[in-house]
Chains A and B, each alone.
Chain A
């Protein structure tokens, strides 16, 4: 694996984003707007805001990075740049490494901006270390990269690929414990939610917001999210086949 080629790819992806300032603005502002909205909805129930606002911090990077990755990689497949890259010395893992690195960096920026607003002016109360919150958000972004890559393999058009969002992401949101605590779900649904990565990200956020000194439990959740991210990236790498019809 070549660091030069991985970094060149990360740089290229970030340059593409830079030429699209509207997308950057949307990716940074929309989570802020939603957290503000949530704060206003629960203006008189600050405790509920604490419960819901935290887990949503882990949800935003999943949505933004999933959508951007799935469309970016679909474009690479459709426009032929992927085919061309696969005839160059660039390896598949270098390509994916570049994507993961650039979106990981972007998710870090997003997490810092959204956390600054949510923990500052909006007054979300968190017991655990804020740094872990940012780390968790970045790991969720890597998961978004992996899932987006997988989705891009099963779509031929951009219309199709955005439909994978309600298919892959929304069930995770329903089952992750945000609406009903996971241990109060019917056992079948609980079992399913155990198999979904967002559940662990939200568990981690719950630990962070409720308990002082929950570092160990959060790190375990982060490790599980990372394992899912690595699995999705590996499965996605397998879909980048050099030879096509």
Chain B
């Protein structure tokens, strides 16, 4: 894997002052339905890298992403996005957000969906459809597509206009392995172009594609480190096993 190693291996204080953070959480707690779904989160990630957000279902991944997008209510503590508060116009201009369930218009074609979001963000449709391999389906109505194809329409509408910050909530779930590999290559390309990417997944095996991973469990951060560090600390290349050992070490 091409994931670059990080010189420092501090996992308890993940924010590294030497780099410019795209997003920073400081002592963030989020309450939902009478319980804290995120507890005292300190984390940050930088531009030009693919940061993975991993953890089982219900660990708080989507809540963390929604807090960055500025749509989560009852956020205590401080979330800083591109130097601003979440949800302000400057951030909304720079943000591409793919929600967990595909949020696209079923009764429009693939191309019409992408064109609408391009018009809103002032970007170009460009090669977005080719990048998510939907070019041949451009004129199909979204309601006639498979679940995986709809998810990619949702991804395409998040990518349009070259956002500087991409929040992708489980973009690879349910896709065939070839396509999954291609999408992770695409994420790497986008990071190479300078974007900050936060990509969530509950398939721990996909951590190997990331420069750095944030591991969440029950609303708390278990660790933030590179996949290589994770293997080194736990003595295994099996990501599921590594996650288990990490929790048992604590």
Contact = CB atoms under 8 A, between A and B. Distances in A.
A60 to B, nearest CB: 23
Interface stretch (A86-94, A119-127, A141-149): A86-94
B68 to A, nearest CB: 10
Among A4, A80, A87, the most chain B Cβ lie within 10 Å of the Cβ of A87
Interface in B104-118: 104-109, 112, 116-117
A211 interface: no
B99 A84 contact: yes
Interface in A230-245: 242-245
A94 B122 CA distance: 14
Contact of B120 (A19, A85, A243, A244): A85
A79 B92 contact: no
B70 A243 contact: yes
Nearest to A82: B103
A212 interface: no
A163 interface: no
Contact of B105 (A5, A81, A86, A90): A81
B103 A87 contact: no
Contact of B87 (A81, A87, A90): A87
B95 interface: yes
Interface in A1-16: 4-5, 8-9, 11-12, 15-16
A109 to B, nearest CB: 19
B137 interface: no
Interface string B55-68: 00000000000000
B236 interface: no
Contacts of B13: none
Interface in B70-99: 70-74, 87, 89, 92-93, 95, 97, 99
Contacts of A88: 92, 95, 117, 120-121
Contacts of B70: 87, 242-243
A4 B117 CA distance: 12
Contact of A20 (B89, B107, B112): B107
Report, as a range, how many residues of chain A touch the other chain. Answer: 20 to 34
B159 to A, nearest CB: 13
Report, as a range, how many residues of chain B touch the other chain. Answer: 20 to 34
A87 B107 CA distance: 22
Contact of A89 (B33, B103, B120): B120
Interface string A71-112: 000000001110111111110000000000000000000000
A89 B93 CA distance: 6
B107 A19 contact: yes
Nearest to A17: B107
Interface string B113-132: 00011011110000000000
A12 B71 CA distance: 23
Given A87-B87, A87-B92, A5 B99 contact: no
A90 B95 CA distance: 12
Interface string A150-182: 000000000000000000000000000000000
B33 A245 contact: yes
Interface string B199-229: 0000000000000000000000000000000
B151 to A, nearest CB: 12
Nearest to A81: B103
A8 B161 CA distance: 15
A245 B62 CA distance: 12
Contacts of B97: 84, 87
Contacts of A11: 116, 119
A15 B116 CA distance: 10
B141 A86 contact: no
B25 to A, nearest CB: 17
B233 interface: no
Given A80-B99, A243-B73, A244-B71, A16 B120 contact: no
5 contacts: A9-B120, A12-B112, A16-B105, A19-B108, A79-B101
| Closest 3 pairs (CB-CB, A-B) | A80-B103, A8-B119, A243-B73
Interface of B: 32-33, 69-74, 87, 89, 92-93, 95, 97, 99, 101, 103-109, 112, 116-117, 119-122, 141, 157
